[in-house]
């Protein structure tokens, strides 16, 4: 989820009133017909999407110290890998196949096994487990999740030499599952803490996914932007079903316990291209719209070789057309690119940044101690001004006060500052873990 995207495209004030509006709006039993019913359904879907985004954002900010722990532990990784943003246009006109983890992925296995020298096979998220089971080794992986689930998926990966791309929130132990170089992604999908790191390290190059909408919450949407950034054409989506097919969420070999469809999140839709009815959920409808937005913007052709929901502005076909292409040593070419673009970050820069973060967070704590106590008005005013000038406040705690006031409206100002102080101390704890 991108906090930066919120500032551009999502009215933060909505989150305060969403909870009551959601209950009232979604419980409405419409008796409308025709165009009126379509309008009602459209606004209901938009409201559900906005509620989900506001809820996810609020949780992310209230528990920001958890992804910060991953961020802190992953900082030294910048010395070891490569910087993806140096590779703009380096895969020009080479097809990229992005593999999601939906049930239709299984039908693509015979084709994927023939694409070693025809297309860049890119595994995103959970699909790596299914591909490994079929002995299909992707050329690239993209992994972003900050939790243990991502590690469990990668432990099932047998493609140990597969380079993968990451953002700083990735669960740190995931790096131990690969012997290949890992590539840092400078993208719009991230927290402002990453901008602090990138500014300090002077990491240049275009930001990937600059025009992503707030609905782009998944690794698949970022994978599309990466493919476009690298110049890949066509871009093929496989296993990106965005729906439950035969009551299943994943392809065989992936998280079987999650196959059951939770009734509370089910939405029935006929937006399938052939008029049939499928079960989906709000997050997938958001992802579908984000993909369609990307397809409108890109100059590359996007092929939808999945089942499930229809995706506008894509060409519906199979992977068979790629097999006839002339072979190209894709794996060796990518390996050469990676080794020629090693990370520009040094040990001295890493240590310097870590010391800067530690010092700035400590200063924030000192000012919040003043603000949380019954000190004079002058001391309070000076502490607040000094706090807002600190880099740690601007990059880590810039919206913490507003989020706390929205989440806990009964708290007075000093109590809000005390909760901010608690969060700052938790960030300090994460640096010691």
In this structure, are 216 and 359 located in the same domain? no
Give the residue-averaged pLDDT of 155-179: 92
Please give the share of the chain, as a percent, with pLDDT higher than 90: 58
Instruction: Answer whether residue 339 shows pLDDT above 70.
Output: yes
Final residue of a domain: which of 324, 339, 354? 339
In this structure, are 154 and 207 located in the same domain? yes
Token duo for residue 88: 């703009």
Q: Which of 6-20, 90-104, 150-164, 204-218 has the lowest mean pLDDT?
A: 6-20
In which band, very low, low, confident or very high, does the pLDDT at 24 lie, cut at 50, 70 and 90?
very low
In this structure, are 260 and 327 located in the same domain? yes
Instruction: Look at residue 206 in the predicted model and tell me its pLDDT.
Output: 83
Please give the share of the chain, as a percent, with pLDDT higher than 70: 85
What pTM did the predictor assign? 0.85
Beta bridge partner(s), residue 164? 141, 182
Instruction: Answer whether residue 35 shows pLDDT above 90.
Output: no
CA angle (169, 212, 192) in 5-degree steps: 40
In this structure, are 238 and 127 located in the same domain? yes
In this structure, are 290 and 154 located in the same domain? yes
Instruction: Look at residue 12 and tell me if it is in a domain.
Output: no
CA angle (168, 126, 218) in 5-degree steps: 55
Instruction: Look at residue 261 in the predicted model and tell me its pLDDT.
Output: 54
Instruction: Answer whether residue 367 shows pLDDT above 60.
Output: yes
Instruction: Look at residue 63 and tell me if it is in a domain.
Output: no
In this structure, are 142 and 233 located in the same domain? yes
Tokens 């930066």 belong to 4
DSSP letter assigned to residue 244: B
**Positive/negative CA dihedral, 343, 346, 351, 352:** negative
CB 262 within 8 A of CB 136: no
Final residue of a domain: which of 320, 339, 358? 339
In which band, very low, low, confident or very high, does the pLDDT at 306 lie, cut at 50, 70 and 90?
very high
Show the domain range for 362: 346-433
Beta bridge partner(s), residue 183? 82, 165
In this structure, are 275 and 352 located in the same domain? no
In this structure, are 368 and 319 located in the same domain? no
Q: Which of 24-33, 102-111, 197-206, 403-412 has the lowest mean pLDDT?
A: 24-33
* Secondary structure tally for the chain: helices H, strands E: 17, 11
Instruction: Look at residue 251 in the predicted model and tell me its pLDDT.
Output: 87
CA angle (333, 337, 341) in 5-degree steps: 170
DSSP character string of 276-344: --EEE-HHHHHHHHHHHHHHHH-SS-EEE---SS--TTSEE--THHHHTSPP--HHHHHHHHHHTSB--
Instruction: Look at residue 224 in the predicted model and tell me its pLDDT.
Output: 97
In this structure, are 160 and 218 located in the same domain? yes
Q: Which of 31-45, 85-99, 177-191, 318-332 has the lowest mean pLDDT?
A: 31-45
């Amino acid at each position: 989820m991108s906090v930066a995207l919120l500032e551009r495209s999502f009215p933060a004030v909505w989150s305060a009133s969403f909870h009551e509006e959601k209950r009232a709006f979604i419980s409405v039993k419409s008796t409308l017909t025709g165009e009126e019913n379509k309008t009602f359904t459209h606004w209901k879907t938009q409201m559900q999407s906005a509620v989900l985004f506001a809820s996810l954002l609020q949780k992310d900010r209230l528990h920001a110290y958890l992804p910060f722990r991953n961020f802190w532990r992953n900082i030294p990784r910048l010395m070891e890998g490569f910087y993806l943003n140096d590779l703009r246009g380096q895969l020009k006109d080479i097809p990229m196949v992005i593999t999601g983890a939906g049930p239709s992925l299984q039908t693509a296995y015979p084709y994927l096994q023939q694409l070693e020298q025809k297309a860049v096979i890119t595994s995103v998220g959970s699909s790596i487990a299914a591909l490994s089971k079929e002995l299909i080794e992707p050329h690239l992986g993209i992994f972003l999740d900050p939790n243990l689930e991502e590690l469990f998926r990668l432990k099932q990966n047998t493609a140990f030499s597969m380079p993968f791309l990451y953002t700083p929130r990735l669960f740190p132990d995931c790096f131990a599952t690969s012997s290949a170089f890992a590539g840092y992604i400078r993208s719009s999908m991230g927290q402002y803490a990453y901008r602090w790191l990138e500014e300090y390290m002077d990491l240049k190059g275009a930001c990937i996914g600059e025009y992503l909408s707030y609905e782009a919450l998944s690794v698949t949407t970022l994978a599309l932007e990466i493919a476009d950034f690298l110049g890949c054409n066509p871009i093929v989506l496989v296993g990106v079903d965005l729906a439950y097919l035969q009551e299943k969420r994943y392809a065989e070999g992936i998280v079987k316990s999650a196959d059951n469809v939770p009734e509370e999140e089910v939405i029935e839709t006929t937006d399938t291209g052939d008029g049939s009815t499928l079960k989906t959920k709000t997050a997938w409808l958001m992802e579908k719209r984000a993909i369609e937005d990307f397809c409108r913007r890109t100059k590359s052709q996007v092929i939808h070789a999945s089942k499930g929901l229809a995706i506008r502005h894509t060409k519906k076909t199979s992977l068979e057309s790629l097999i006839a292409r002339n072979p190209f040593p894709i794996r060796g070419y990518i390996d050469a690119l990676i080794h020629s673009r090693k990370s520009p970050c040094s040990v001295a820069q890493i240590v310097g940044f870590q010391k800067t973060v530690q010092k700035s967070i400590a200063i924030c704590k000192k000012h919040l101690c003043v603000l949380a106590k019954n000190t004079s008005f002058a001391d309070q005013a000076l502490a607040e001004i000094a706090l807002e000038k600190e880099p740690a406040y601007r990059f880590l705690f810039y919206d913490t006060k507003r989020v706390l006031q929205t989440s806990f409206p009964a708290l007075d100002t000093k109590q809000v500052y005390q909760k901010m102080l608690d969060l700052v101390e938790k960030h300090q704890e994460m640096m010691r873990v």
